[in-house]
Amino acid sequence: MNRPPRGNRGGEVIVLVEDNTSPYYLHASDNPSLQLVPHLLIGSNYINWSRSVVTALIAKNKLSFVNGSLPRPLIDDLLSPSWIRCNSMVISWLRNSVSPQICPSIMYIEDAHELWLDLRDRFSQIDSARSYQLKQQLMFLTQGSSNVNTYFTNLRIVWDEFKHSQPLAWCTCTTCRCDSASK
Protein backbone atom coordinates (compact mmCIF):
# COMPACT_ATOMS: atom_id res chain seq x y z
CA MET A 1 0.00 0.00 0.00
CA ASN A 2 1.43 3.34 -1.06
CA ARG A 3 0.86 5.97 1.64
CA PRO A 4 1.51 9.70 1.27
CA PRO A 5 4.67 10.99 2.95
CA ARG A 6 4.18 12.23 6.49
CA GLY A 7 6.14 14.59 8.66
CA ASN A 8 6.20 15.34 12.33
CA ARG A 9 6.12 18.90 13.64
CA GLY A 10 5.86 19.29 17.39
CA GLY A 11 4.05 16.00 17.83
CA GLU A 12 1.57 16.85 15.06
CA VAL A 13 1.53 14.41 12.14
CA ILE A 14 1.20 16.17 8.80
CA VAL A 15 0.16 14.45 5.57
CA LEU A 16 2.09 16.18 2.81
CA VAL A 17 0.53 15.20 -0.49
CA GLU A 18 -3.24 15.13 -0.29
CA ASP A 19 -4.14 17.40 2.63
CA ASN A 20 -5.18 20.66 0.99
CA THR A 21 -5.28 22.34 4.40
CA SER A 22 -1.55 21.78 4.89
CA PRO A 23 0.77 24.71 4.16
CA TYR A 24 2.87 22.17 2.24
CA TYR A 25 0.08 21.43 -0.21
CA LEU A 26 0.58 22.81 -3.72
CA HIS A 27 -2.38 22.87 -6.07
CA ALA A 28 -1.88 21.84 -9.69
CA SER A 29 -2.41 25.47 -10.72
CA ASP A 30 0.37 26.72 -8.40
CA ASN A 31 3.45 27.42 -10.46
CA PRO A 32 6.55 29.62 -10.15
CA SER A 33 5.44 32.01 -12.91
CA LEU A 34 2.24 32.99 -11.08
CA GLN A 35 1.82 36.69 -10.30
CA LEU A 36 -0.06 36.89 -6.99
CA VAL A 37 -1.38 40.43 -7.31
CA PRO A 38 -2.30 42.60 -10.29
CA HIS A 39 0.03 45.47 -9.35
CA LEU A 40 3.78 45.19 -8.88
CA LEU A 41 5.64 46.63 -5.92
CA ILE A 42 7.36 49.80 -7.12
CA GLY A 43 8.29 51.06 -3.67
CA SER A 44 5.83 53.85 -2.99
CA ASN A 45 2.85 51.45 -3.13
CA TYR A 46 4.23 49.08 -0.47
CA ILE A 47 1.30 49.38 1.93
CA ASN A 48 -1.38 48.47 -0.61
CA TRP A 49 0.87 45.90 -2.30
CA SER A 50 1.71 44.09 0.96
CA ARG A 51 -1.95 43.92 1.98
CA SER A 52 -2.84 42.41 -1.40
CA VAL A 53 0.00 39.87 -1.18
CA VAL A 54 -0.97 38.85 2.36
CA THR A 55 -4.56 38.28 1.21
CA ALA A 56 -3.36 36.15 -1.73
CA LEU A 57 -1.00 34.13 0.48
CA ILE A 58 -3.77 33.49 3.00
CA ALA A 59 -5.97 32.21 0.18
CA LYS A 60 -3.17 29.85 -0.90
CA ASN A 61 -2.43 28.83 2.73
CA LYS A 62 1.17 30.03 2.40
CA LEU A 63 1.25 33.05 4.74
CA SER A 64 3.18 30.99 7.30
CA PHE A 65 6.18 31.01 4.95
CA VAL A 66 6.46 34.81 4.99
CA ASN A 67 5.36 35.61 8.53
CA GLY A 68 7.92 33.24 10.05
CA SER A 69 5.43 30.95 11.79
CA LEU A 70 6.62 27.94 9.75
CA PRO A 71 10.40 27.83 10.15
CA ARG A 72 12.61 25.61 8.03
CA PRO A 73 12.67 22.05 9.42
CA LEU A 74 15.94 20.33 10.13
CA ILE A 75 17.56 18.80 7.04
CA ASP A 76 16.80 15.21 8.14
CA ASP A 77 13.12 15.98 8.84
CA LEU A 78 10.67 14.40 6.39
CA LEU A 79 9.13 17.85 5.89
CA SER A 80 12.38 19.44 4.76
CA PRO A 81 12.04 18.76 0.99
CA SER A 82 8.42 19.90 1.02
CA TRP A 83 9.31 23.05 2.97
CA ILE A 84 12.09 23.84 0.47
CA ARG A 85 9.72 23.32 -2.46
CA CYS A 86 6.94 25.49 -1.02
CA ASN A 87 9.36 28.17 0.21
CA SER A 88 10.84 28.33 -3.31
CA MET A 89 7.35 28.65 -4.78
CA VAL A 90 6.51 31.55 -2.45
CA ILE A 91 9.82 33.24 -3.27
CA SER A 92 9.00 32.93 -6.98
CA TRP A 93 5.57 34.47 -6.41
CA LEU A 94 7.11 37.36 -4.48
CA ARG A 95 9.76 37.97 -7.14
CA ASN A 96 7.01 38.03 -9.79
CA SER A 97 5.14 40.60 -7.69
CA VAL A 98 7.87 43.24 -7.59
CA SER A 99 9.03 45.64 -10.27
CA PRO A 100 11.97 44.75 -12.53
CA GLN A 101 13.99 47.44 -10.72
CA ILE A 102 13.48 45.81 -7.30
CA CYS A 103 13.72 42.15 -8.30
CA PRO A 104 17.54 41.97 -8.71
CA SER A 105 17.98 43.23 -5.14
CA ILE A 106 16.13 40.20 -3.73
CA MET A 107 17.37 37.58 -6.20
CA TYR A 108 19.75 35.88 -3.76
CA ILE A 109 17.50 35.76 -0.70
CA GLU A 110 16.58 32.10 -0.26
CA ASP A 111 14.08 32.25 2.59
CA ALA A 112 10.59 33.69 1.97
CA HIS A 113 10.43 35.11 5.51
CA GLU A 114 13.78 36.90 5.12
CA LEU A 115 12.71 38.23 1.72
CA TRP A 116 9.45 39.54 3.18
CA LEU A 117 11.29 41.25 6.04
CA ASP A 118 13.77 42.80 3.61
CA LEU A 119 10.98 44.32 1.53
CA ARG A 120 9.13 45.49 4.63
CA ASP A 121 12.21 47.12 6.10
CA ARG A 122 13.01 48.94 2.86
CA PHE A 123 9.59 50.04 1.72
CA SER A 124 7.23 50.28 4.69
CA GLN A 125 8.74 53.55 5.88
CA ILE A 126 6.66 56.36 4.48
CA ASP A 127 8.69 59.36 3.43
CA SER A 128 7.89 62.67 5.06
CA ALA A 129 6.84 64.21 1.73
CA ARG A 130 4.17 61.53 1.21
CA SER A 131 2.99 61.86 4.80
CA TYR A 132 2.65 65.62 4.35
CA GLN A 133 0.82 65.11 1.05
CA LEU A 134 -1.68 62.73 2.68
CA LYS A 135 -2.27 65.15 5.57
CA GLN A 136 -2.90 67.94 3.08
CA GLN A 137 -5.33 65.78 1.11
CA LEU A 138 -7.22 64.98 4.32
CA MET A 139 -7.39 68.62 5.36
CA PHE A 140 -8.60 69.94 2.03
CA LEU A 141 -10.86 67.11 0.90
CA THR A 142 -14.39 68.43 0.45
CA GLN A 143 -17.57 66.92 -0.91
CA GLY A 144 -18.06 69.68 -3.47
CA SER A 145 -20.33 68.46 -6.26
CA SER A 146 -19.65 64.78 -5.48
CA ASN A 147 -22.34 62.62 -3.97
CA VAL A 148 -21.87 61.37 -0.41
CA ASN A 149 -20.71 57.92 -1.53
CA THR A 150 -17.99 59.31 -3.79
CA TYR A 151 -16.83 61.77 -1.12
CA PHE A 152 -16.74 59.08 1.56
CA THR A 153 -14.88 56.67 -0.75
CA ASN A 154 -12.23 59.30 -1.55
CA LEU A 155 -11.89 60.17 2.14
CA ARG A 156 -11.58 56.50 3.08
CA ILE A 157 -8.85 55.88 0.47
CA VAL A 158 -6.68 58.73 1.74
CA TRP A 159 -7.41 58.03 5.42
CA ASP A 160 -6.64 54.30 5.14
CA GLU A 161 -3.32 54.95 3.42
CA PHE A 162 -2.40 57.56 6.02
CA LYS A 163 -3.46 55.35 8.93
CA HIS A 164 -1.55 52.31 7.66
CA SER A 165 1.55 54.31 6.84
CA GLN A 166 2.11 55.49 10.39
CA PRO A 167 4.91 53.77 12.32
CA LEU A 168 3.86 51.19 14.84
CA ALA A 169 4.67 51.76 18.48
CA TRP A 170 6.52 48.75 19.83
CA CYS A 171 5.93 47.48 23.32
CA THR A 172 9.06 47.22 25.43
CA CYS A 173 7.56 45.60 28.53
CA THR A 174 7.52 41.85 28.94
CA THR A 175 3.84 41.67 29.82
CA CYS A 176 2.33 44.61 28.00
CA ARG A 177 1.03 47.19 30.43
CA CYS A 178 1.95 50.25 28.37
CA ASP A 179 -0.87 49.73 25.83
CA SER A 180 1.47 50.70 22.97
CA ALA A 181 -0.15 48.21 20.61
CA SER A 182 -3.51 50.00 20.75
CA LYS A 183 -1.85 53.41 20.42
Domain hosting 152: range is 126-183
pLDDT at 3 over 50: no
20 in any annotated domain: yes
Residues 68 and 144 in one domain: no
Residues 119 and 137 in one domain: no
Half-sphere CA count of 23, side-chain side, radius 13 A:
22
149 in any annotated domain: yes
Cα–Cα distance for residue pair 167/169, rounded to 1 Å: 6
Q: How many domains does the chain have?
A: 2
Q: Return the pLDDT at 20.
A: 87
Residues 18 and 96 in one domain: yes
User: Last residue of some domain: 74, 105, 123?
Assistant: 123
pLDDT at 6 over 70: no
1 in any annotated domain: no
pTM for the full predicted model: 0.69
Q: Which amino acid is at 151?
A: Y
Q: What's the mean per-residue pLDDT of the chain?
A: 83
Residues 85 and 136 in one domain: no
Q: Looking at per-residue confidence, does 132 or 4 come out higher?
A: 132
In sequence order, what are the residues at sequence separation of 6 or more whose Cβ sits closer than 8 angstroms to the Cβ of residue 59?
none
Instruction: Please report, rounded to a whole number, the percentage of residues in the chain having pLDDT higher than 70.
Output: 77
Residues 36 and 98 in one domain: yes
Residues 32 and 91 in one domain: yes
Residues 59 and 22 in one domain: yes
Of 4-18, 78-92, 95-109, 145-159, which gets the smallest average pLDDT? 4-18
Residues 105 and 156 in one domain: no
pLDDT in tens, 124-171: 876 666 677 878 888 888 888 888 888 888 888 878 777 766 655 555
Q: Return the pLDDT at 30.
A: 94
- Exposed, middle or buried: residue 100 (CB in 10 Å: 0-12, 13-18, 19+)? exposed
151 in any annotated domain: yes
Residues 84 and 165 in one domain: no
- pLDDT bucket at 1, cuts 50 / 70 / 90: very low
Q: Return the pLDDT at 32.
A: 95
Instruction: Quote the Cα angle for 87-89-93, to 5°.
Output: 115
Residues 67 and 154 in one domain: no
Residues 141 and 85 in one domain: no
The residue-averaged pLDDT of 54-68 equals 96
Residues 136 and 56 in one domain: no
pLDDT in tens, 17-48: 578 899 999 999 999 999 999 999 998 888 88
Q: Looking at per-residue confidence, does 139 or 175 come out higher?
A: 139
